[in-house]
Every structure is written in C-alpha cells, then in structure tokens.
Amino acid sequence: MARSRDLDDSASRAALLDAAESLMVEHGYAAVTTRRVSKAAGVNNGLVHYYFGTMDDLFAEAFRRRSERSLDRLRHVLDDPQPLWALWEQSRDASSNAIVMEFIALANHRKAIKKEIAAYSRQHRRLQIERLTTVLEGYGVDLERWPAGALLVLVTGTARFLLLEESFGVHVAHDETVAVIEREIGALEGERRVYERRASAAS
Amino acid sequence: MARSRDLDDSASRAALLDAAESLMVEHGYAAVTTRRVSKAAGVNNGLVHYYFGTMDDLFAEAFRRRSERSLDRLRHVLDDPQPLWALWEQSRDASSNAIVMEFIALANHRKAIKKEIAAYSRQHRRLQIERLTTVLEGYGVDLERWPAGALLVLVTGTARFLLLEESFGVHVAHDETVAVIEREIGALEGERRVYERRASAAS
DNA sequence: GTCTATAGCTGGATAGAC
DNA sequence: GTCTATCCAGCTATAGAC
C-alpha cells in the first residue's frame, strides 16, 4: 500500500505482467526473460527493472495478481446449485492449471515464489474446507468418517494429477478414475445439470 | 545396444550420471550445467559432451537409468504380504519423489525428456494395474465398481499431491486425508504389520 | 580418454541521455 | 517514463593438444 497508485496502474506495468503470464503458459517460465517479456509487452526492456526491480519481483507480483483473482472466483464456485460438480469441473480445468504448474516448477528455484504459493495454497484450502463442510452437511454426509478436508484433497489432488499426466500425453486408467469420482458426486447431488451463466466479477 | 560396452561402463560416465542426479535433488535441475556436473563428478567438463553429446542426452540417460531401477523395484513391491500398504508407503516416499518432480519440471522445457517420462509412466501404470487387479480380486473387491486403475490413480495421485504440498510446507487437511486412505486400506488388509526386511536388488 | 582454451550466445542489471 | 548502450556472468559446444 506504500506503493504509489500511479506506479501500480501504469499500462506498461500491466502489459508486462500480462506478457509474463502468457509467455509462461505458452513457452514455460524459462521464456520469461527481461528481453522477451518486454518485447512481448511492447515496451522497452529497461522498464522491467524500473517497475519490478528484479525478475523475482516480477514473478512474485504476477503470482499475487493471479491469486487474488483466483480467490475471488473460488468464493463463487461453491455457490453453484451443484457445488460438488462445480468444484470438480474447476479442478479439471486445464487452462487455469497450466500456469499454476509453471509457477510450481518455478518455485523450485525461486524461494520468494515458494513462499507466495504456500501462503496462497493454505488460504485457498481453508476457504474451500469451510464452504465444503456446509455443503456436505446439507447432503447428510458423515463428516466424522469423511471429513470435508480429506474429500477435498482426494478430489482436487487427483484432478491435478490427472491434468499433469494428460499434459504428458499419459491417459492410462484416467477414464475409469473420472467415472468413479463422477459416480460418487452424482450419488450425492444427482446428474450434472446446465444452468444459466451466473454473473461473475472475474473476467 | 549399438553403443559399446566400454563407453557405457566407464567410471567417468557413471560418475557424471550420479552427479547429475544428486545435483538435481539438492539444487534443482537448473544446477545441472556442464561445468557444475563435471566438477561434482570430479571429471573434466569436456567429458560431458564426449559421453553424452548434449545436455539433453545426459538428462535422458539419467532418467532412463532411474526408470529401469524403479521398474525393477516396482515388480517386488506388490509381492509384499500387505501389497496395498506397501504401495501406499512407496507412494508416500518423499526421497524418491523429489527427483521425479525435478524431472517433471525439467520436461516442460526439454521435449526429449517429456517423451521418456510419458513412456515410463504408461509402462509403470500398466504394470501396477496388472498386479493390483490380482490383489484386489483376492480381497473380494467389486472391480466393476472400483476398478484397480481408478483406485491406483486415486491413491498414487493423492500421495503425490500430498508430497508436492509438503515440499512447500503446506499441510492443511493432510492428516485427515492420510487417515481416510489408511482406514480404507486397513479395512481390506488389516493393520500394517512389520516384516523381516526383504532381499532386494535395488540399493 | 582427458584436458585446456575459446568461440558464440543469452541473460540480468545498471548508467545515463532524453 | 522511456530508451540505448553496455558491463559482466554463465552457459553449451567445439577444436585441438596431449
């Protein structure tokens, strides 16, 4: 908050963050170099250091911006009429997962990023557990036997694992895994139905 | 097989592969440069190219060597008197998982590695399913409802996800997840017992 | 097989003009 | 705020002596 509004709102700054994201998704985090990111953003390469200081700071800022948007979206996901289906679908979304995987890979070599991801993950998980507990109680699930947190980790962990393997072109036993999970979700809240698109703050 | 035995058996070559592995585990794949890996191996940096040609080939060879050993080990895991417990324990082993995660991260930027990992993953999965099917049949599990492949992906996927989060210092809801899985395994093959250490080819 | 030396490239970061 | 120019470091790979 000590940072000036002017600096945060700069179009060049935003362009650099956007370019960093899209480079990460399309060519991996290693493609995000001062020269390439500034070229992709259409600004001069000196501006990277003017706005962010170091590459570490650029990455951290890109992750923070993503996290805020993502948490906003999460707050609405479990308001879906079929929250378990919505959660599952969101977990299976490859596009939003690709950049997360890049950040995770990046974190192995940038400690500052590692801390950001850890903090975000904890917050995200806690928020999900809170909402999911309410949902499962409504379905009459025995939460002693099947705690919301455990089901959440099982489902989202498996979803991410599936996405990871799929990004390698590995699909062995994926169909039956998806079938089992969707059968169990269906047993709790019926077949997935299609609703009117909900209004959302996220773009 | 066209390669000469002499070249494959060279002590320098093996030292380079060993050094590459340990550098990956301790400092990440980015630390595996021609200079550092040769220094760690105690050999001249020119030898990297003499033995492997390019860095890509060194990584591919390191992964192949690991894979062969790993598949050998796998063939024995499900011979444990409590194969589900053994599988779960192996999946939860952080040390052998660390290097796998590095290879996965590396694969994002080295296509040759990506292919190697995909091929290995398929083979590994198929072998596991084959053995696990026999085991579950023995326990009278309804394989129509709970296919071996699905259970395998659920358990190993969750295990890897837990390890990934733990490497970031994130532990939210891990305990209850582990408890649920171990309760279900216990329901099938009882409490985990301790056996005499089995003879194993792997070091 | 092992070594040195070096070419050629790409990157992060800074200084200073405008 | 934006730009150019430049320094310095680290990397892969190769040539060639021993």
Q: How far is residue B76's CA from residue B197's CA, in Å, rounded to a whole number?
A: 12
Claim to verify: residue A92 and residue A191 sit in the same structural domain: yes
Taking only the tens place, the pLDDT of each residue in A105-140 is: 999 888 889 999 999 999 999 999 999 999 999 999
Claim to verify: residue B177 and residue B194 sit in the same structural domain: yes
pLDDT band at residue B33 under the 50/70/90 scheme? very high
Claim to verify: residue A64 and residue A9 sit in the same structural domain: no
Claim to verify: residue B39 and residue B132 sit in the same structural domain: no
Whether the per-residue pLDDT at B200 is higher than 60: the answer is: no
Q: Could you tell me if A77 and A26 are in contact, meaning their C-beta atoms sit under 8 angstroms apart?
A: no
Claim to verify: residue B23 and residue B87 sit in the same structural domain: no
Q: What pLDDT sits at residue A186?
A: 98
3-class SS string, chain B: CCCCHHHHHCHHHHHHHHHHHHHHHHHCHHHCCHHHHHHHHCCCCHHHHHHHCCHHHHHHHHHHHHHHHHHHHHHHHCCCCCHHHHHHHHHCCHHHHHHHHHHHHHHCCCHHHHHHHHHHHHHHHHHHHHHHHHHHHHCCCCCCCCCHHHHHHHHHHHHHHHHHHHHCCCCCCHHHHHHHHHHHHHHHHCCCCCCCCCCCCCC
Instruction: Specify the CATH number for the domain of residue A33.
Output: 1.10.10.60
Give Cα separations from B145 to A26, A100, A176 (angstroms): 39, 33, 10
Please identify, among A38, A53, A68, the residue that sits at the C-terminal boundary of a domain.
A53
Q: What pLDDT sits at residue A7?
A: 61
Claim to verify: residue B70 and residue B100 sit in the same structural domain: yes
**Among A76, A36, A115, residue whose Cα is nearest residue A195:** A76
Q: How far is residue A162's CA from residue A145's CA, in Å, rounded to a whole number?
A: 26
pTM assigned to the model: 0.92
Please identify, among A53, A79, A97, the residue that sits at the C-terminal boundary of a domain.
A53
CB pairs under 8 A between A and B: 121
CA atoms within 13 A on the CB side of A80: 21
Taking only the tens place, the pLDDT of each residue in A55-66 is: 999 999 999 999
Whether the per-residue pLDDT at A202 is higher than 80: the answer is: no
Alpha carbon of B36: minimum distance to chain A alpha carbons (Å): 16
d(CA A21, C1' D6) / Å: 29
Claim to verify: residue B133 and residue B157 sit in the same structural domain: yes
User: Which residue of B101, B122, B176 is in closest CB contact with A150?
Assistant: B176
What is the domain count for chain B?
Answer: 2
Q: How far is residue A159's CA from residue B154's CA, in Å, rounded to a whole number?
A: 9
DSSP letter at A109 equals: T
Claim to verify: residue B176 and residue B76 sit in the same structural domain: yes
Whether the per-residue pLDDT at A4 is higher than 50: the answer is: no
Asked whether residue A43, judged by its CB, lies under 7 Å from any atom of the DNA or RNA strand D, the reply is yes
d(CA A20, C1' D14) / Å: 35
Q: How far is residue A59's CA from residue A106's CA, in Å, rounded to a whole number?
A: 9
Q: What pLDDT sits at residue B174?
A: 98
Q: What pLDDT sits at residue B111?
A: 87
| Pairwise CB contact (< 8 Å): A160 & B161 | yes
Alpha carbon of A139: minimum distance to chain B alpha carbons (Å): 19
Q: How far is residue A131's CA from residue A77's CA, in Å, rounded to a whole number?
A: 10
Claim to verify: residue A29 and residue A45 sit in the same structural domain: yes
Alpha carbon of B74: minimum distance to chain A alpha carbons (Å): 17
> Which residue range forms the structural domain that includes residue A102?
54-202
Claim to verify: residue B156 and residue B66 sit in the same structural domain: yes
Claim to verify: residue A124 and residue A175 sit in the same structural domain: yes
| Pairwise CB contact (< 8 Å): B153 & A162 | yes
Claim to verify: residue A185 and residue A108 sit in the same structural domain: yes
Please identify, among B53, B72, B97, the residue that sits at the C-terminal boundary of a domain.
B53
